[in-house]
């Protein structure tokens, strides 16, 4: 008997997967049909198998139009491979009515290829379709764009070509569509054609929300700084690419304690305007940014969500930062120094406003790095305090043997380490870091009478440790020379005395002036101490020597 139209329809329906066959039955009920035809009721299609559905198609639409409806439905549900196989099977049907009629009349109905889409350098979308093997060579082609409540007829360009044997024609039709017509999800491009000699009508429809739309946005994961710090401005960003038209809308949300709130411009948050850039393939890309100044109390553990909307998306795309972890670097406020009894110094390291609370502090001496072979860290105590803003402060105290600082080469070190830091920080402590530097008073000069022994005194106090050096110099006729003890001059420094745990002494120079030699000369007291970068000098100024009886 050979292959029949019914056989070809049944074979095509059998080739559909279970889900595809279900979509076919649903779409078959919803498909628009020509005048004088009516849709197959939904109730008649439910639970029907391949043969039953093929019989209903032939019953309602006959063979010729039934095949056309079947092909339209297969196109709607994106089963183009099945449609092609159906067309191949129909070529084997000897008595297929539509083909016989065309051969007898000498007219051929156009066959439409699927619509193709492209993007132009000028920012427009190009839609084109090719209609093949029709005769005679004229078609009525119309493009329309529907959006919301309005419909716009589009201007198109057609190119007709005749086959080499002169028995048929083909036509290519192209239209360019502005982005403005595609910025809403309801935008639909509708193509219809009519061949008056065969009374054939055809149509194709494209919507930006179709599942096979090529230029949906690709949204990368949110990029966050490797570390986020309390009250330090930071930027979260999300890259979006490959979309068309240029119509993305981005919103940022913050989820904290299960509460979702929209991020808006505030003292803590800034949302720079999004600017799209064109890619080489004429799609668009942009980067959405959220600039914020996070604070522990409000933002610790919060999750930031970037929601991207586009007309091509049925649902918005969401990307999450995950819960953010805030840190705060310890700030060195000061290193206090206090003299204690028994010749020791208490050093107090004040580190403030850090988070989390775990912090390591080590005190050591001898070498800057606490390596193997170096004495273990010196004992110390720590006092940790939690602040109202959820940050922490710590005071680390260590007592060191004070006389060690009498050696200018002696150095002690304090090192602290915290999760928020790139690495440990160290501060060196030496005698010049101590606050107890010598205070040197002006030289007190008793009366100066020719050939009468007198003295000059310089009071020095508030120094520590007890490593003081005092030298006397004489300046005469512009030359400065060290004072050497002689019959006329002797020097001494009184034994040091402690007051308020620091040392003090008096430097004395005994002097028998000679009016002829010493008039206008000058004595200088120079004080040196390990805590001083430069010596301290005090001068008597030019001397005036009285003669007896003056």
- Dump the DSSP string for 40-52: PPHHHHTT--HHH
CA distance 428 to 366: 11
Name the residue among 106, 111, 127 with its Cα closest to residue 71: 111
Biggest CA–CA distance in the chain, Å, is 162
CA distance 258 to 305: 13
CA distance 32 to 39: 8
CB atoms within 10 A of CB 328: 23
The pLDDT assigned to 538 comes to 96
Please state the length of the chain. Answer: 550
Name the residue among 59, 70, 65, 56 with its Cα closest to residue 8: 70
CA distance 53 to 396: 86
CA distance 223 to 236: 6
The pLDDT assigned to 2 comes to 65
- Secondary structure of 350-404 in HEC code, one letter for each residue: EEEEEECCCCEEEEEECCCCCCCCCCCCECCEEEEEECCCCCEEEEEEEEEEHHH
Span between the terminal Cα atoms of the chain, in Å? 160
The pLDDT assigned to 287 comes to 96
The pLDDT assigned to 94 comes to 54
CA distance 66 to 60: 8
* CB of 218 closer than 8 Å to CB of 283: no
Name the residue among 298, 301, 503, 514 with its Cα closest to residue 402: 503
Mean pLDDT by 10 residues, the chain (550 residues): 79 87 88 82 88 87 81 90 87 57 63 91 93 83 86 89 83 92 88 81 88 92 93 94 94 89 88 94 96 89 94 93 93 92 89 94 72 53 91 93 86 92 92 93 92 94 92 92 90 90 94 90 95 94 84
pTM, rounded to two decimals: 0.63
* CB of 401 closer than 8 Å to CB of 342: no
Q: Which helix (H) or strand (E) holds 111?
A: strand 111-112
The pLDDT assigned to 106 comes to 62
The pLDDT assigned to 377 comes to 55
Buried-exposed string 283-294: b where 16+ CB fall within 10 A, e elsewhere: bbbbbbbbebbb
The pLDDT assigned to 370 comes to 46
């Amino acid at each position: 008997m050979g292959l029949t139209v019914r056989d070809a329809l049944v074979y095509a329906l059998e080739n559909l997967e279970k889900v595809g066959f279900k979509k076919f039955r649903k779409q078959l009920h919803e498909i628009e049909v020509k005048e004088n035809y009516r849709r197959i009721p939904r109730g008649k299609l439910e639970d029907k198998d391949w043969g039953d559905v093929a019989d209903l198609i032939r019953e309602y639409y006959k063979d010729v139009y039934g095949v056309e409806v079947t092909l339209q439905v297969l196109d709607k549900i994106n089963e183009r491979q099945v449609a092609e196989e159906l067309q191949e099977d129909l070529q084997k049907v000897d008595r297929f009515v539509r083909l016989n009629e065309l051969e007898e009349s000498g007219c051929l109905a156009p066959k439409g290829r699927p619509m193709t889409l492209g993007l132009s350098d000028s920012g427009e979308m190009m839609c084109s379709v090719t209609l093949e093997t029709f005769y005679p060579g004229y078609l009525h082609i119309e493009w329309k764009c529907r959006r919301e409540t309005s419909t716009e007829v589009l201007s198109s360009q057609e190119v007709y070509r005749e086959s080499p044997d002169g028995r048929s024609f083909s036509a290519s039709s192209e239209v360019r569509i502005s982005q403005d017509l595609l910025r809403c999800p309801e935008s639909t491009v509708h193509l219809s054609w009519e061949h008056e000699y065969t009374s054939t009508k055809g149509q194709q429809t494209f919507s930006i929300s179709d599942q096979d739309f090529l230029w949906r946005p690709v949204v990368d994961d949110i990029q966050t700084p490797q570390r986020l710090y309390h009250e330090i401005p930071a930027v979260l960003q999300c890259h979006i690419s490959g979309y068309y038209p240029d119509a993305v809308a981005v919103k940022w949300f913050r989820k904290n304690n299960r509460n979702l709130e929209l991020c808006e411009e505030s003292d803590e948050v800034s949302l720079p305007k999004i600017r799209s850039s064109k890619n080489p393939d004429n799609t668009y890309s942009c980067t959405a940014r959220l600039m914020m100044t996070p604070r522990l109390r409000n933002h610790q553990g919060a999750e930031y969500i970037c929601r991207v909307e586009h007309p091509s998306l049925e649902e918005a795309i969401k990307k999450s930062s995950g819960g953010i972890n805030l840190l705060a670097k310890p700030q060195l406020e000061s290193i206090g120094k206090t003299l204690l009894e028994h010749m020791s110094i208490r050093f107090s390291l004040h580190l403030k406003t850090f988070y989390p609370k775990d912090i390591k502090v080590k005190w050591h001496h001898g070498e800057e790095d606490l390596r193997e072979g170096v004495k273990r860290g010196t004992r110390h105590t720590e006092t940790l305090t939690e602040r109202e803003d959820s940050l922490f402060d710590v005071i680390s105290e260590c007592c060191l043997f004070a006389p060690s600082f009498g050696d200018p080469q002696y150095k002690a070190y304090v090192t602290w380490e915290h999760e928020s830091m790139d690495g440990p920080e160290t501060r060196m402590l030496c005698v010049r870091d101590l606050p107890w530097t010598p205070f040197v008073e002006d030289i007190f000069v008793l009366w100066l009478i020719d050939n009468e022994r007198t003295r000059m005194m310089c009071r020095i106090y508030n120094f520590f440790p007890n490593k003081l050096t005092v030298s006397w110099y004489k300046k005469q006729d512009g030359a400065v020379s060290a004072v050497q003890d002689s019959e006329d001059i002797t020097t001494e420094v009184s034994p040091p005395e402690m007051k308020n745990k620091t040392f003090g002494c008096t430097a004395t120079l005994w002097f028998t002036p000679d009016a002829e030699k010493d008039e206008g000369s000058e004595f200088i007291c120079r004080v040196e101490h390990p805590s001083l970068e430069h010596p301290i000098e005090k001068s008597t100024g030019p001397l005036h020597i009285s003669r007896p009886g003056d």
